[in-house]
Amino acid sequence: MIESSTVVPLASERTRVRVPMAFADGYSTTADVVTFDGLVDGREHLLLGLGDWRAALDRAADGGPAPLVRPHSECLTGDVFGSQRCDCGPQLREAVERIADEGGFLLYLRQEGRGIGLYAKLDAYALQDSGLDTYEANVALGRGEDERDYTVAAQMLAAVGVDGIRLLSNNPDKARQLEDLGIRVTEHVPTGVHLSEANTRYLEAKRDHTAHTIDLSAA
């Protein structure tokens, strides 16, 4: 658990490269993809600067709104294979366009399965098929309900000069951790609700158990 007033070790930019991106629905944009040295967990996390992110930083420095930022945890099944058991893929697609429109950053964090890993996440899926919800399944495997730690997110943001953000997320724990790590969350911006026949119970668990800002009645 992150303690308040945590001192975050400094990270530094390693590489920055322009990457054109095209999505299956025809949307395209270009990202400045940044890699880092000094991330505390040693994993290969990425920061994507989208839209006119430099202007967004300048506006924030002049007292304007903070840049729009989404910390997005890797989900191979949803992001790559289009799994309908979660809402990760649609959230990623939505975030890229919304951030590109305003200028800001997407953090792609290698924290599969809320930090328990890909194989364990699939083990948890099997337990969910027997009746457990997404959090109960993690616990039944002997893992935490959510093992994600956003220290690397704070490191990456600090390395590119960001100390305040408008957080694009439905998850209040992201805001709590980032603020404890020295990143000011000036606004909570919810993502859309991406409901499918296969993920209703998953979204209900996030809403009811961890207070995600999800209004399923509007979906």
Residues annotated as catalytic are 146, 148
43 is in an annotated binding site: no
179 among annotated binding-site residues: no
174 is in an annotated binding site: yes
- For residue 110, say whether it is annotated as part of any ligand binding site: no
The 3-state DSSP composition of the chain as helix, strand, coil percent (nearest 5) reads: 35, 20, 40
Count the neighbouring beta carbons within 10 Å of the beta carbon of residue 143: 19
What residues form DSSP beta bridges with 166? 68, 187
What kind and span of H or E run contains 51? none
Q: Is 72 annotated as a binding residue?
A: yes
Q: What is the per-residue DSSP string for 63-122?
A: T-PPPEEEEEE--IIIIIT--SSSSHHHHHHHHHHHHHHH-EEEEEE--TTTTT-HHHHH
134 is annotated as contributing to ligand binding? yes
Ligand-binding annotation for 113, yes or no, is: yes
Sheet architecture: strand order including 68-73 = 12-22, 28-37, 46-50, 104-109, 68-73, 164-168, 184-189
169 is known to lie in a ligand binding site:
yes
190 is in an annotated binding site: no
Q: Does the annotation flag 177 for ligand binding? A: no
74 is in an annotated binding site: yes
Half-sphere exposure of residue 146: CA atoms within 13 angstroms, side-chain side: 17
Q: How many CA atoms lie within 13 A of 215 on its CB side?
A: 5
Residue 86 assigned ligand-binding role: yes
Dihedral class, residue 86 (left if φ above 0, else alpha if ψ from -120 to 50, else beta) = beta
Known binding positions for Zn(2+):
75, 86, 88
| Annotated binding-site ranges | 70-75, 86, 88, 91, 112-114, 134, 169, 174
